[in-house]
Amino acid sequence: MSSSGGKVPLHGPRRILVPAKHASDPFVVCTKRRFTVSDQENKFYLAICRIANSTKWQSHDAVDIDTVRAKFYSFGHSFEKFGMLSPYVMSVFCRVLFHDNHPSKSKRNYFFPSIGAQLTIDINDVDLEKVEKSFKGAASARKLHLCDMLYFPILYQQHWFVFLVDLKDRMLVFLDSIHEEGDDFFEPILPHIDLQSIFQVFKSSSHMFQSKFLGIFSMKYMELWSPRVILQNEFSKDNINNIRVQYANRIFFHPNNKMLGTEVEEVVLNWFDHYNYMFNLHVCFSI
């Protein structure tokens, strides 16, 4: 395991790239990543969304990664169009990132939103035992002072944003697709974080966001952000629907999902075959 994590770069902390207005949307059309999805991915995505409304299956676990679980109801409704991301699904996503970018190699640690929530409240109300347990667990994968970045997704007043501790560049970063530095939204939060903060705000050319987009934005921030990445060039709200499809498939079919190989996987794989069979059976008996 490398011991270089958390150390300031040789030539000092990296500066955050923030393009000037004349070099960013809407003045410049940037080439963004393509988020293509296959017909099969769309099929499984639609099945997951439909199963979320199934009285038979919606209470079953759709995902179980390291005993971090999300039921079909919250999983499907989190990723459906205009769906609000559930904290349970964000927690599962943190485990996906943990396995796909293990701290021992990536020098990144991802904390559950329940821990992020502790950062937004008065110190006298913080569940110190819960926080200590979480930090000790994270440190077992890589000691925190040897990490480059610590990610805390936070759901505050039905609004998702990411608080990021950039140990390598000695910065505290707020990744938010709506609010900027000095916004009233952060006033109740900042007193609990008594260090100077640097705001990196991702702003799209359109400010007409719906709050239900923001969980997906936060998930993408956790994957892509670094001081040298201009998020506007990476994705926009126009990509959100395809990103939903990709995330639903990526999480459900993740190798560490214990529900794979069970009847839960079978119902997703064969949902439309079963649906068409039942529909045809109904038509047959209706004639």
Strand partners, 69: 64
In angstroms, the CA 62 to CA 258 distance is: 9
Residue 287 above 50 pLDDT?
no
Q: What is the mean pLDDT of the chain?
A: 82
Confidence at residue 50, expressed as pLDDT on a 0 to 100 scale: 94
232 vs 98, higher pLDDT: 98
Q: What are phi and psi of 121, to 5 degrees?
A: -120, 165
Q: What is the DSSP letter of 102?
A: -
- The mean pLDDT of 169-198, rounded to a whole number, is 73
Q: Which domains does the chain have, with CATH numbers?
A: 38-286 (3.40.395.10)
Residue 169 above 90 pLDDT?
no
How far lies 83's CA from each of 89, 186, 244, in Å? 12, 24, 10
Confidence at residue 1, expressed as pLDDT on a 0 to 100 scale: 55
Confidence at residue 237, expressed as pLDDT on a 0 to 100 scale: 83
The neighbour count for residue 71, using CB atoms within 10 Å, is 19
**What's the whole-model pTM score?**
0.81
238 vs 56, higher pLDDT: 56
In angstroms, the CA 161 to CA 120 distance is: 12
Half-sphere exposure in the Cβ direction for 210 (13 Å, CA): 9
Which residue intervals of the chain are DSSP H helices? 39-51, 72-79, 87-100, 103-106, 113-116, 128-141, 214-224, 240-252, 263-269, 271-286
Share of the chain above pLDDT 70, in %: 75
What would the pLDDT profile of 69-116 be if each residue is shown by its tens digit? 999 999 999 999 889 999 999 999 999 999 999 999 999 999 999 999
Do residues 79 and 108 touch, judged by C-beta distance below 8 A?
Answer: no
In angstroms, the CA 106 to CA 109 distance is: 8
Query: Which of 112-121, 133-142, 278-287 bottoms out in mean pLDDT, i.e. has the lowest?
Result: 278-287
Token couple for 137: 């667990």
| CA-derived radius of gyration, the chain | 21
In a 3-state reduction of DSSP, which class is residue 149? Answer: strand
What would the pLDDT profile of 6-46 be if each residue is shown by its tens digit? 565 655 555 555 555 545 554 444 555 679 999 999 999 99
Confidence at residue 145, expressed as pLDDT on a 0 to 100 scale: 92
Q: How many residues does the chain have?
A: 287
278 vs 241, higher pLDDT: 241
DSSP 161-211: EEEEEETTTTEEEEEESS--TT-GGGTTTGGGS-S--EEEE---S-----G
